[in-house]
Structure 1
């Protein structure tokens, strides 16, 4: 049909749905929701920290080094020895998983700090905040 819309058909050729690109969905979303009588669910501006995921990672910690809680931002110099103990927080936990991937948001410059815990080492990546992101192309879970 177009580069923005892919129609989906069942085995008998009946139209059962359509896939829209992010750009197309952004353009038609308000109209579609209004036609279907649906209200858009407001998302909180700040998602809660996934502290349960952090606790699970600590519970199953099997790295040969102790749990590390230090976080540092390469872009603005913000740093802490224990992110969870800071009040107010210098870094917000944004993700943690059992594989050892933990990410934070610097509360000073909004940069993303990612700590990757490997068997014998920890690597850290720091990505500066970009205000010019295309919000319709962000992953939402």
Structure 2
């Protein structure tokens, strides 16, 4: 039929379904689910903060400056001197590794704050949240 739709037939030639390409499905998914009255309950649950990874980084900290706990979002102005002590959290730890790469999510605007700890300096990069993503290009784990 097309590069995006393959019709599926049973042994008697009756149409039993259709196989859509990822691009076609991401284009028609919402209207199809709405039309059929199906609620999409496959929202990704938020993973727990990798606090053990943060603790490992602190344990092996060998930078010439003290452990760095301040975080600031340049997009919404949210900031804290110690992200781990905030209740409720202003920033959520999303990753940390022994190389000194630490990533946070701003709980106010959902921006991504990336902190790179180098021997002599810390660099920070802030990327705004993008609500319109191409879901066919996102990696997902199957359940």
TM over 0.5: yes
> Which residue of 2 is the match for residue 98 of structure 1?
98
Aligned residues: 109
Q: CA deviation at 1:137?
A: 1.7
Q: Separation in 2 of the partners of 1:62 and 1:22?
A: 46
Q: CA deviation at 1:105?
A: 0.3
Q: CA RMSD in A?
A: 2.3
Q: Separation in 2 of the partners of 1:22 and 1:70?
A: 41
- Unpaired runs of 5+ residues, structure 2, are 5-20, 28-41
Q: CA deviation at 1:136?
A: 2.9
Cα contact 2:113–2:125 (8 A) shared by 1: yes
Cα contact 2:57–2:100 (8 A) shared by 1: yes
- Unpaired runs of 5+ residues, structure 1, are 5-20, 28-41
Cα contact 2:26–2:135 (8 A) shared by 1: no
> Which residue of 2 is the match for residue 81 of structure 1?
81
> Which residue of 2 is the match for residue 118 of structure 1?
118
In 2 relative to 1, CA 52–23 (structure 1 residues): closer, same or farther, beyond 3 Å? farther
In 2 relative to 1, CA 51–140 (structure 1 residues): closer, same or farther, beyond 3 Å? farther
Q: Separation in 2 of the partners of 1:49 and 1:112?
A: 14
Deviation sequence 1:70-100 (CA, Å, 0-9, x none):
0000000000000000000000000101110
> Which residue of 2 is the match for residue 57 of structure 1?
57
Which structure 1 residue ranges, 4+ long, deviate > 6 Å from structure 2? 24-27
> Which residue of 2 is the match for residue 138 of structure 1?
138
TM-score by length of 2: 0.68
